[in-house]
Structure 1
């Protein structure tokens, strides 16, 4: 289906979705739409208070919404492992929506000592997905959704300075993390196909959406933002690619979904291209091996 919006989300009763970063922005709108179609939605969030507030807001609009909080801090691998263990207790898991991420903060380190954007956006996603593959494999036709960005186009993987101890540029490291997301998705889907698994991996990006993710952007950009908002997706519109990737019947493993208008910055969702670098299997293999080394988590496929 082309030009997908939230009105195209099918009935989802009996299915379970985990959405990371579900308490705000695109994650919240994704969770709200899924719950509105009858899905059970697991909220993978750092703050229980913010998750509870978000779930209460959804319940005001969706009577009987089936929601559960899963404590999850993707900047702490022990938290990722604990979250995966809780999800393993669920009766089923149909779709893992890896939505949580950070964008262009000052240089920071995760609990485990990783540069924060690579650590949260990629390594946290890698470790959570790896530990939920068996659970996903129990459900025919399950999916892993990985959220990338238009920023992947300018990304490079700095294997010689992965922790940014030599040089840190907030935008450069964000681009790296979003390229890593796509490299991971493509490699994961290749491996799932080789295993003849019914689970598929797909990716999406929201275009340019008006969310709090942009809070670390330069001041001059923030000052101009109110004038530019007319060109942005709202958070609900920014969720359309995620919803298509997670629920559309017209999806195959390895698909990449983004907005259809103004150079993939806005509008209804459809399938979009990625860069040749993002689809480089040798680069993906190097990143896969590095990710296992850094996280200590092996997907086993």
Structure 2
């Protein structure tokens, strides 16, 4: 199926309807499904097409119950299951992964769509001492995804979809100072950029490692107002963001940001990545506006699609976490 011509504005609900046959009967694990989020919107869109099971992962039981109730209203035929997942602790992430792997009633996972993230937070560290945006947005998902990968690979056509951002343009991996010297030289937007660059490099490397055994994508949803940015004083921060774009010579500083999208449009590329049947030759790719990105046309920084950087990141993350995976 060709990418929709209006991929920058098509409703993810409408797109999900065109993939109804591909969604029906699937077991799908989704993170980041709190009220008002893209993860919630994604679940409500695909619930209409009767997946077999939606597994909803998050750290707040009350928020998980809200999305479970919302799905039941959207389509009472869809079964749901909740999973406690705390992305600020590697130990808790491994505990959650062990629970998933122990579920006999979940023989495989067809699609894992990771929406959970934080953005532009003040300096802080995770339980394990990682700068918080890097730890929550990349390191914890790296551990979780790799830990449940054996169950994902039991699917006949497994997909892994990881949300990144055009904010990756704000920073490469800070190989020798990922924690900003204990916060001394911290910039929340460089930190966010580093974390989203890491997500893209992870998808690139995992796609290469798995080859035809699974399809892996990183996704740019676009610029959408969601609770993700609720903690940010945009009036105070926007000048700093523009300054970074100016320093780096980014197009956004000259011609302005891309137009804002609705949440319905914001989930479309994730839906496309999860269910489109013509993406098999593009595993590892970074997707936006329901198409495979073109670094000559789109905001894709070379530090986020280098196979050398991707391999280095994998090895670096193994050292940081003292975790090793082979597939």
Q: Normalising to structure 2: TM-score of the pair?
A: 0.82
Match of 2:292 among 255, 264, 271: 271
> In structure 1, what is the Cα distance between the partners aligned to 2:109 and 2:97?
11
Summarize the alignment of residues 209-248 of structure 1 with structure 2, pairs less than 5 Å apart: 209-220=224-235, 231-248=259-276
- Counterpart residue number, 2:161: 145
**Deviation of the 1:153 alpha carbon:** 2.0
SS state at 2:230 partner? helix
- Counterpart residue number, 1:198: 213
- 5+ unaligned residues in a row in structure 2: which ranges? 239-257, 295-299
Match of 1:102 among 112, 115, 118: 118
Q: Which runs of 4+ in 1 moved over 6 A?
A: none
Summarize the alignment of residues 290-301 of structure 1 with structure 2, pairs less than 5 Å apart: 290-301=316-327
Summarize the alignment of residues 19-30 of structure 1 with structure 2, pairs less than 5 Å apart: 19-24=30-35, 25-30=37-42
- Counterpart residue number, 2:287: 257
- Counterpart residue number, 2:311: 285
SS state at 1:91 partner? coil
SS state at 1:183 partner? helix
User: Against the structure 1 CA distance between its residues 152 and 219, is the aligned structure 2 distance closer, same or farther, given a 3 Å change threshold?
Assistant: closer
> In structure 2, what is the Cα distance between the partners aligned to 1:222 and 1:289?
34
> In structure 1, what is the Cα distance between the partners aligned to 2:301 and 2:277?
25
SS state at 1:277 partner? helix
User: Against the structure 1 CA distance between its residues 175 and 27, is the aligned structure 2 distance closer, same or farther, given a 3 Å change threshold?
Assistant: same
2:179 is the alignment partner of 1:163? yes
RMSD: 2.1
> In structure 1, what is the Cα distance between the partners aligned to 2:190 and 2:233?
14
Confirm or deny: 8 A CA contact 2:170 2:192 kept in the other structure: no
SS state at 2:29 partner? strand
Once the two structures are superposed, residues 180-214 of structure 1 have per-residue CA deviations (whole angstroms, 9 ceiling, x without a partner) of 11011101111112xxx421211111110110111
Summarize the alignment of residues 16-55 of structure 1 with structure 2, pairs less than 5 Å apart: 16-24=27-35, 25-39=37-51, 40-55=53-68
Once the two structures are superposed, residues 64-106 of structure 1 have per-residue CA deviations (whole angstroms, 9 ceiling, x without a partner) of 2211111001111122112212222122201111111000100
- 5+ unaligned residues in a row in structure 1: which ranges? 224-229, 260-268
**Deviation of the 1:219 alpha carbon:** 4.2
